Structures are given as C-alpha cells and as structure tokens.
Amino acid sequence: MFTDLYSPLQQLRHARLSQLWIKRDDLIDPYISGNKWRKLKYILEDASTKGKNHLVTFGGAYSNHLVATAAAASRSGLKATAFVRGEQVNNEMLVLCSLYGMELIFTDRETYKDKTACYTAYAEKHADTYFIDEGGASAEAVRGCAEIITELPGDTAHLFCAAGTGTTAAGLLQGIQKAGLTAKLHVIPVLKGGEFIRDEIAQYVPVTDQLVLHTDYHFGGYAKTKPDLLKFIRDFTAAHGILIDPVYTAKLFFAIYDLAEKNYFREGEKIIALHTGGLLGIMGMKDKLI
C-alpha cells in the first residue's frame, strides 16, 4: 500500500477516569481522514483486483470521504470522479478534491437520490469505473474498520466511536466478535433519531448486547452544534492539545465525559475512544468556534 498505517494509542488525563485512552486514527494521514482510510483500504484493493482504474463516488460538499478518496486515488495512480450533492459551491474541502485531480460533478438533490442511475449513466461513457457508495459504505469498509480491533488491548472494557452511517461501528463490532473480546461497543450517532444505526450495523454483523447506542448526544442533528458543545471543544483542545471536530468526534468525547460525570463506568475500567479524524472541515466552521 502507498502509506504505512500508524495510529498510536495515547492516554488522556481525566479527573474521574484513570484508564481513558484515545486511538489516534486522526494521525494516520492529514487528508485521508482516519476512518475513511480504514474504509478505503480494501475498496482500493478490490478495485485493483478487478482491474478498475477509475473510482466514482458520492458525497456532500463537506464530505471527508470525498477528500480521502481524491487523495487516495491520486496516490494510487487512479482517476477519481465525485457526484457532489447540491448546486455548485466552492469550499476548502472541494479545493483539496480538485487539487488531487478529482472530477467534481455537482448534482441536484433529486437526481443525486438515485446514485445507481447516476453511476450507470457515467459508466456507460467511461472505461474501467468502480462504484464507491457515499461515505465508502461497503463490506470492504467494514472489513477495514474491523482491523482496528487488532491494534487495541485485549482488556478493553469500553470502546467508543461516533457514527454517521454506522459502517465504522459495524466493523468495530465485527472485529470485537472475531477476536472474542468482551468489550462493549458504545456508539454515538451524530444524527437525530440515531436508533436507525442498529439496523445499519445489522446489515453487516449480528447485533448482540455488546452494542450500546447513546442516542442523546446529537446536539440537534447532523453538523448541528450548541454552545455547550463548542465550549467543550475549546476546553478539550486546550487541555489535551488534540483537535476534535464539531460534527463527529466532539459529540463522541462529550458523551464519554458526560457518562463519566454520571458515574457510568466502574473504577479502573479501560475505556478507549476512537478518534476518527475529520479535522479538515473545522476551519470552515471558524465563525462558530471562536
């Protein structure tokens, strides 16, 4: 592969939790945001096995997945095209996609809904295309995320991650089951009505009581924030020197801190938070953050 994966496990100081650790997938690469690399790894392998040299994918204008795919494609010598949801816009994320040579096709919301139709029409006119779903959701992505478990200590009691589509969570649960660990997987959906994540996960792996959903930390919905979340981001970053993003990882850490406050954990239990990255977009939210 074009890049060696390195993701340290780092302890976090916390007044109530003596064993709080953070799996720094955010450090894997600045542009291939942590879990997006985990997801793309076997997708790229599959594309290559099938002799496809042109990735075609989907996402919103602030998608970490699009930047990750653009960067990974260019480093692997592949072409990349993205159907971008909504009218033409410009932002720092799309600039990166563009610099990495990704073709951007802005697509109105109605047309975008039928991704298969978008892809089929495009594939008819271009050779050797390879379909990648929005956010990279796929069995290959689940397999890539499951590997994270092999890099974690066997005595982990609680593993936490944020969820958008639930693909990363499905991989973590798969990895936990494969390794026969007793760890609980705690998932923080960043969207409102996060119960749907259970069904998403169940598409890939049998859901057991090892899965715990915490659906009350969405702060109003996807990419929505509240003053206490923004304050949490500032305090956390200043205290630890670790950036977190308002969309995913801030909600994740807020949840852990809140549960600790409510004495959810037993003394000495090993708790690991997966930092999935997602830091590229934060400058686009600067007006909210300061």
Ligand X SMILES: *Cc1c(COP(=O)(O)O)cnc(C)c1O
Binding segment toward ligand X, per CB under 6 A, in 152-160, 178-186, 211-219, 272-280: 272-280
Number of residue whose CB is nearest ligand X: 278
Residues in the interface with ligand X (CB under 6 A) total: 19
Q: What is the DSSP letter of 220?
A: T
Contact between 197 and 164 under an 8 Å Cβ cutoff? The reply is no
Residue type for 31, please?
Answer: Y
Select 19 or 214, whichever has its Cβ closest to ligand X: 214
Rg value, the chain, Cα: 19
* Residue from 57, 64, 69, 225 binding ligand X (CB under 6 A): 64
* Residue from 162, 172, 188, 256 binding ligand X (CB under 6 A): 162
Distance CA(288)–CA(204), nearest Å, equals 36
Q: From the CB of 275, what's the least distance to ligand X, in Å?
A: 8
* Residue from 165, 244, 251, 253 binding ligand X (CB under 6 A): 165
Decide: is 281 part of the binding site for ligand X (CB under 6 A): no
Region of 285 please: left (phi>0), alpha (psi -120 to 50) or beta: alpha
Catalytic residue among 7, 33, 63, 138: 63
Binding segment toward ligand X, per CB under 6 A, in 161-169, 172-180, 203-211, 219-227: 161-169
Distance CA(57)–CA(70), nearest Å, equals 10
Termini Cα distance of the chain: 39
Residue type for 228, please?
Answer: D
Q: Residue 30: which H helix or E strand, with range?
A: none
| 63 classed as catalytic | yes
Site for ligand X in 75-114 (CB under 6 A): none
* Residue from 57, 167, 174, 225 binding ligand X (CB under 6 A): 167
| Cα–Cα distances in angstroms (integers) from residue 48 to residues 181, 204, 237, in the given order | 33, 23, 39
Decide: is 166 part of the binding site for ligand X (CB under 6 A): yes
Residues noted as catalytic: 63
Which residues of this chain interact with ligand X, rule CB under 6 A? 33, 35-36, 64, 135, 162-169, 245, 248-249, 276-278
